[in-house]
Amino acid sequence: MCGRAYLFSDVDQIKRLFDIAPQQPAPNFAANWNAAPTQDLPVVRYDAAARHRSLELMRWGLVPFWAKEAKLGYSTFNAKAEGVADRPAFREAFRRRRCLVPCDGFYEWKKSGTRRQPYAIARADRTPMALAGLWEVWHSPQGEALKSFTIVTTAANALLAPLHERMPVVLERADWPLWLGEIPAEPAALKALLRPCPSEILTLWPVSPRVGNVRNNDPALLAPLAHPSAAGGNGCGRRSSPIAT
């Protein structure tokens, strides 16, 4: 699954990486070292009418257009790849409203008995990730529009499997046009993108249990933990130095 992420790259970096035209308006957003569902995060989508990519803030936790109330988004912050084409909450978004969710990495927890040790995951080359997402617009009874998104997950690769059985879908640049809808694609071709990324493009390291409290939001959350067992877990995978800020 993917229930916590972090993004410290600024808006100009994100615009360059995702080929958002410099003259296009984009939201301002602060670095978020402990992003969680229900928070607003930047999302990249393709505007077919204008024929360009846009960057805008949406709430994490997809609320389907047909939902009676917004609280449904609390249970739809992730969408399993195996069901996106058929599950009512996601099938229309999968057909028409796919997006990329930029982040510098995400967190996952390894269970050991009753203990849970958090790990930070990043790309090995330290560039931001593009996670496969779906987005939707929901209108409240008062007529207010809420844009929200979910992150698509798949089976974990060999690096992340010791932590959790699921992981977010990490898309490479060559796959962005297809996923965003810039290139016409059949559902089978889209589903083929929803696979575990190669283990070698990622790295991970144990971090402080402080990340478990969403109120903790600072760069120190990414500091490698020298002795993870002392914090209630065991090390696994490749350790890493902190990400430069």
Q: What is the CATH number of the domain that holds 184?
A: 3.90.1680.10
pLDDT band at 72 (very low <50, low <70, confident <90, very high): low
Q: Could you tell me if residue 244 is inside a domain?
A: no
108 is catalytic: yes
Q: Could you tell me if residue 159 is inside a domain?
A: yes
pLDDT band at 1 (very low <50, low <70, confident <90, very high): confident
Q: Could you tell me if residue 242 is inside a domain?
A: no
Q: Could you tell me if residue 211 is inside a domain?
A: yes
Domain that holds residue 201: 5-231
Q: Could you tell me if residue 142 is inside a domain?
A: yes
Alpha-carbon gap, residue 46 to 245, rounded angstroms = 29
Structural domain total, the chain? 1
Report the alpha-carbon angle 185-197-18, nearest 5.
Answer: 60
Matching residue, tokens 């002392």: 230
Alpha-carbon gap, residue 145 to 245, rounded angstroms = 35
What is the value of pTM for the model shown?
A: 0.90
- In the set 108, 136, 197, 236, the catalytic residue is 108
pLDDT of 209 reads 96
Matching residue, tokens 């003259």: 23
Q: 99, 62 in Cβ contact below 8 A?
A: no
The count of other CB atoms within 10 Å of the CB of residue 183 is 11
Q: Could you tell me if residue 237 is inside a domain?
A: no
pLDDT of 73 reads 57
SS3 state at 96: helix
pLDDT at 168 over 80: yes
pLDDT band at 40 (very low <50, low <70, confident <90, very high): very high
SS3 state at 206: strand
Summarised one tens digit per residue, pLDDT across range 217-235 is 999 999 999 876 544 433 3
Q: 203, 89 in Cβ contact below 8 A?
A: no
Q: Could you tell me if residue 192 is inside a domain?
A: yes
Question: Per-residue pLDDT averaged across 35-41, rounded?
Answer: 96
Q: Could you tell me if residue 205 is inside a domain?
A: yes
236 is catalytic: no
What's the Rg (C-alpha) of the chain?
A: 18
Summarised one tens digit per residue, pLDDT across range 177-221 is 999 999 999 999 999 999 999 999 999 999 999 999 999 999 999
Alpha-carbon gap, residue 149 to 137, rounded angstroms = 9
Average pLDDT, the chain: 90
Alpha-carbon gap, residue 99 to 50, rounded angstroms = 16
pLDDT of 30 reads 95
